[in-house]
Amino acid sequence: MTDLSVNVDHVATLRQARKAAYPDPVEAAEIAEQQGATGITIHLRSDRRHIHESDLASLRQTVKGKLNLEMATTEEMTTIALRYRPDQVSLVPERPEEVTTEGGLDLLSTGERVVAVAKKLEAQGIAVSVFVDPEPRQIEHLLSTAVGCVEGFEINTDSYTKAQGAEAQAELRKIVQVTTMGLEGGLRVYAGHGLTTANVGPVASIPGIEELNIGHSIISRAVIVGMEQAVREMLHAMA
């Protein structure tokens, strides 16, 4: 079965709405792991709009599975990653005005910077993944420039989740294509963005995708039914 890494960013979003001490993303992460999640994902943004460095410090001490830190390719974030040493760093694009990550890295234009950061992290034993759209040219560039310092890539499933009917099937075929390319090139493959219990099944069933990173839909559902039930529902849908 495909693994589930639960993104707890939006527990912190709810906390920051009142600048309170609760709800605690660390507590949410503990519950998610107890219910079967194999990892926890957080995005430490430069504006600290949800997750804070103190959350990363606490999660580094409490997460029993894989702690995956999403971050931009900045010197500040590289220094923080080297300080706390998460199990994996996922390099993502970041713009101050975006509501959430709006697309994958364009490795053709930013690949040099990505490789430089990846080499620093890999040298200290931190696995590195990159967040990319399901475009063959991005995977080709990754395979030609970053093998050795980048362990894998996460496929941006946003277009698939927004499509309907034949368009959704076409987007799914793109995901299958780049998954095959990555596996043949010796890379690990992950996926995520916009996945819900209603659309996750076809992606979870693609051979070779070993982990899905899902946050917003799980946390939104948890507001209604609780964290335990929300994680169990997602795992059931993935199966």
Q: What is the DSSP string of 97-157?
A: T-SS--S---HHHHHHHHHHHHHHHHHTT-EEEEEE-S-HHHHHHHHHHTBTTB-EEEEE-
- pLDDT above 80 (res 233): yes
Mean pLDDT (the chain) is 96
Cα 108 vs. chain centroid, distance in angstroms? Answer: 21
Helix (H) or strand (E) holding 21: none
Over residues 125-131, the mean pLDDT reads 98
* From 10, 33, 43, 154, the catalytic residue: 43
Tens of pLDDT, residue by residue over 68-107, are 999 999 999 999 999 999 999 999 998 877 677 778 999 9
Tens of pLDDT, residue by residue over 132-184, are 999 999 999 999 999 899 999 999 999 999 999 999 999 999 999 999 999 99
Clarify whether 50 is annotated catalytic: no
**What is the model's pLDDT at position 1?**
84
For the CA atoms of 224, 98, 115, 141, the dihedral, rounded to the nearest 10 degrees, stands at 90
First to last CA, the chain: 7
* From 10, 30, 50, 70, the catalytic residue: 70
Residue 47's nearest CA partner among 29, 74, 83 is: 74
* From 10, 50, 141, 193, the catalytic residue: 193
CA dist., res. 185 & res. 104, Å (int): 19
CA dist., res. 57 & res. 40, Å (int): 13
| Cβ atoms 210, 190 nearer than 8 A | yes
Clarify whether 70 is annotated catalytic: yes
What domains does the chain contain, in order, with CATH numbers? 3-127+196-238 (3.20.20.70)
Clarify whether 236 is annotated catalytic: no
**What is the model's pLDDT at position 227?**
98
Tens of pLDDT, residue by residue over 201-231, are 999 999 999 999 999 999 999 999 999 999 9
**What is the model's pLDDT at position 19?**
95
Tens of pLDDT, residue by residue over 14-68, are 999 999 999 999 999 999 999 999 999 999 999 999 999 999 999 999 999 999 9
